[in-house]
Amino acid sequence: MINIITAFLLLLSMGLKAQEPQLEGGLSEFMKNNTIYPSYSAQNCIQGTINVGFKLNAKGEVYYATLTKGIGSDLDDEALRLIKLSSGKWKVSINHDTLALILIPMRFTLKGYGCENRDKNSIAMAIRAYKAEKELTNVILNFYRGKEKGKYNAEDEPKILKLKVELEIDDDYLQGKINAGLKKIKQGDKQGACDDFNFVKYMGSDKADALLSKYCN
């Protein structure tokens, strides 16, 4: 009888250990309802699977998240944002290992963007170009952060303005960032929204100042 009980407890333990954390409603539905497809990836038909690793505490809250295999565009940031947004929505077993790194693939696809016949080489080139564009965008961000603190060279501003034109960072582009931020506010993603609003601010625009004051200060 002791052996039977021991065997039963062992099987029960193995069964509990095998239970993986589950997202309420499922990951696919969560992504369908909450993905805000990033503008660069949408415009350049960048799609694919991003692998993310994250850790959950005993309450099903995400306290750590990282990319294990990204695409190399702003879609990587969206994957991480979604995982952080899912915090508190995971069901974990009573014996959940809070130090375990949970690995999941996240599939992003575009519909209605005319990407079906898009050349794969042009998409690959767009992904490579993203890194260079991001570095140039950071130059602009750093300039306006410095300007806010009074640490900048005024002679550089015409160059920065020219760079913004080359990168097509205009009012329409910045409004798109603001719209994305407002959607994130509705999702309860205050941090993601404030990142968007601050991006607009440090592109040298005051278009998001009222929203920063309302939601982020």
pTM attached to this predicted model: 0.87
pLDDT band at 1 (very low <50, low <70, confident <90, very high): very low
Mean pLDDT across the chain: 92
pLDDT at 79: 98
CATH number listed for the domain at residues 20-108: 3.30.2420
The residue among 62, 33, 27 whose CA lies nearest residue 187 is 33
Long-range contacts of 3-12 (CB under 8 A, 24+ apart): none
pLDDT band at 117 (very low <50, low <70, confident <90, very high): confident
Give me 55's structure tokens: 């850790």
Question: Could you read off the pLDDT of 160-179 as tens digits, one per residue?
Answer: 999 999 999 999 999 999 99
Neighbour-count burial of 153, counting CB atoms closer than 10 A to its CB (0-12 exposed, 13-18 middle, 19+ buried): exposed
| 94/9: higher pLDDT | 94
pLDDT at 4: 38
Q: Where are the domains of the chain?
A: 20-108, 120-215
